[in-house]
Structure 1
Amino acid sequence: MTALDAAMALSPSEQRGLVFAKTNCSQCHSIDPVGPSPLSLAPPFRDLHERYPVEDLQESLAEGIRTGHPSMPEFQLAPDQIGDFIAFLKSLE
């Protein structure tokens, strides 16, 4: 399956989440089903569900997600963006 085929199989919400991830996250994180992250310290999004339920990110995304390293920008998403982003992350499980 090509990346285009995979993207076409996503729901509209998952596709919007993918666009957000491509625009804001893919410079550091792998947002694909395979392959390493461009920044070795940044976990691939497909592995996040192994660390914790991705739904647990909803509150952090709404309040402004912060991390322990200074190179990650702070993001604060609108409720519809959060739903789309979580839907995309779940599509990688």
Structure 2
Amino acid sequence: MRRFCLMLGVLLGVFTVPDVRAQDSVERGKALVTQYCSGCHAVGPKGESPNPIAPPFRKLSERFPIDALEETFIGSIDTGHPGMPVFKATQDQIDAIIDYIATVME
């Protein structure tokens, strides 16, 4: 019985830890886009962008498939675009931002 409980605990740990990590990544991504992007972009599931020419993050799928966002963000975040401050993002930060955006995309 003890062996079964140990195995069950290991299995439950394997299945719950990634969920916690994924949630942490989404929360980090939300914090990053709130800090660096929300001055121009609507970063949540509702609302208009403060800058009318800045697309809401939930509508980015109309321009880019989610799997192409990493390359797009590497170019945009590292080099900026007119009116956008340069933000030197690490790979972990880019992954977290993409994880968050995936939760708000239409």
| TM-score bracket for this pair, using the shorter chain length | 0.7 to 0.9
CA contact (8 A) 1:61 1:75 kept: no
2:80 alignment counterpart: 66
Gaps of 5+ in 2: 1-21
Quote the Cα distance in structure 2 between the aligned partners of 1:65 and 1:51: 19
Q: Which runs of 4+ in 1 moved over 4 A?
A: none
Q: RMSD value over aligned CA atoms?
A: 1.8
CA contact (8 A) 1:14 1:84 kept: yes
Letter in 2 for 1:11: Q
Q: CA deviation at 1:75?
A: 2.4
Which has the larger Rg? 2
Further displaced range: 31-40 or 72-81: 72-81
**Residue 59 (structure 2) pairs with residue 52 (structure 1):** no
* Other structure's SS at 2:69 match: helix
Q: TM-score, normalised by structure 1?
A: 0.77
Q: TM-score, normalised by structure 2?
A: 0.68
Higher helix share: 2
Give the share of equivalent positions with the same residue, in percent: 37
